Amino acid sequence: MAVKLRLHRTGRKKQPYYRIVATDTRAPRDGRYIDRIGHYIPLANPATVTIDREKALDWLKKGAVPSTTVKNFFRAEGIMLEFDLLKRGLDETEIEKELQNWQTIKQEQLKRLEAEAAMKKREESDKPKAEKPEPAAAEPKEQSTAAQEEKAGVEEEKTAEPEQDSQEEASDQGEESGKETEEVKASENAEPEKADEAEEPEKAEEPEKAAQEQEASSSDEEADSKKKSE
């Protein structure tokens, strides 16, 4: 018959209570068992594990195979180490020395873990104090208001620049239109002057024509007088 060391569940719903038992591999998980070695209470704070050391070693010597959880419990209690030393054939005195060394190492490890947990708690308790200084919290608000004012000033400058540009463009357009009107007026004034200049030569030609006509008439009169005298 193959024997296995495993957990046997008892207790109420959502309140488990496990027994560490030696049972036949063919038996159901929560069925009948051969021998009870200890118990495990997971809901306790901290979880408690109690094991009968002599019974556990006896069943291991008989060839019983522990489950993974039960094997972890045996390792935590040093049962698996003692069983390995017995298989090597060491004396009781040597086994006791090895177990004492193992216990000292385990205690040192527990102390280190406790010290690390205490340091973490201190750091967590110190963090809120460092994160909530009143003057330091006021500075960012002042900086934020100053930044908002700077942004508002930049936006006003940006809005003022297009207005100035539009005013300059309007003044340039007004100057151009004024220049165009002046040129038009100058051209209108220049045309009558040209007309007067064109009339002046005609007026100057009229006296010349009158003088020529007088000379021609005088020459005709002289010719007539000569004929009459002859």
pLDDT band, very low/low/confident/very high, at 6 (cuts 50, 70, 90): very high
* CATH architecture designation of domain 3-89: 2-Layer Sandwich (3.30)
pLDDT of amino acid 40: 94
Which string of b and e fits 134-144 if b means at least 16 CB within 10 Å?
Answer: eeeeeeeeeee
pLDDT of amino acid 7: 93
Question: Parallel, antiparallel, or unpaired for β 65-66 and 35-41?
Answer: unpaired
User: Average pLDDT, whole number, for the chain?
Assistant: 75
Task: Please answer whether residues 20 and 74 qualify as being in contact, where contact means their C-beta atoms are separated by less than 8 angstroms.
Answer: no
**Closest listed residue to residue 43, CA positions, set 18, 21, 67:** 18
pLDDT of amino acid 2: 87
Residue 78, phi-psi category: left (phi > 0), alpha (psi -120 to 50), beta (remainder): left
pLDDT, mean of residues 193-212: 54
pLDDT of amino acid 28: 83
Which string of b and e fits 103-117 if b means at least 16 CB within 10 Å?
Answer: eeeeeeeeeeeeeee
pLDDT band, very low/low/confident/very high, at 90 (cuts 50, 70, 90): confident
